[in-house]
Amino acid sequence: GAGVSQSPSNKVTEKGKDVELRCDPISGHTALYWYRQSLGQGLEFLIYFQGNSAPDKSGLPSDRFSAERTGGSVSTLTIQRTQQEDSAVYLCAGGFLPYEQYFGPGTRLTVT
C-alpha cells in the first residue's frame, strides 16, 4: 500500500480484557516504532524494532504490554488485562534511520 496502515481504527474493550493492535508498515522500512498519545499529550515512545536486532522495549509502561514484529514487516502490540489508563491513541511509525518517520493513522483504544 501507499502508506502505513493500522487496525482496528477504533477499539472499545472492557477493563481486564486483552487487545491486539496491528501495524502494517510501508514495505521495506527497516525501522518500526510504537507510540502512545493520550488526549492533548505528546508522543510517548513505547518500543522500537530495527531489522533483526533485539527491540528496544524501554518505553513499555508495564509488563502487560508486549509487541512483536514478524518477518521484519507486520507488527502487533498486545495489551493484556487492559486498564482504563491504557485508553489512548496508539500510533505506529516506520522509516529508514536516521530519517523521517511515517506514521499510521493510529488505533484509538477506549477501555471501559
Partner 1 sequence: GQQVMQIPQYQHVQEGEDFTTYCNSSTTLSNIQWYKQRPGGHPVFLIQLVKSGEVKKQKRLTFQFGEAKKNSSLHITATQTTDVGTYFCGGGSNYKLTFGKGTLLTVNP
Segment 90 to 109, residues that bind partner 1, using CB under 8 A: 91, 93, 97-106
Query: Rule CB under 8 A: is residue 56 a binding residue for partner 1?
Result: yes
Q: How many residues bind partner 1 (CB under 8 A)?
A: 23
- For 75, counting Cβ atoms within 10 Å of its Cβ (0-12 exposed, 13-18 middle, 19+ buried), the class is buried
x/- binding map, residues 15-54, to partner 1, per CB under 8 A? ----------------x---x----xxxxxx--x-x----
Which residues would be at the binding site for partner 1 (CB under 8 A)? 31, 35, 40-45, 48, 50, 56, 91, 93, 97-106
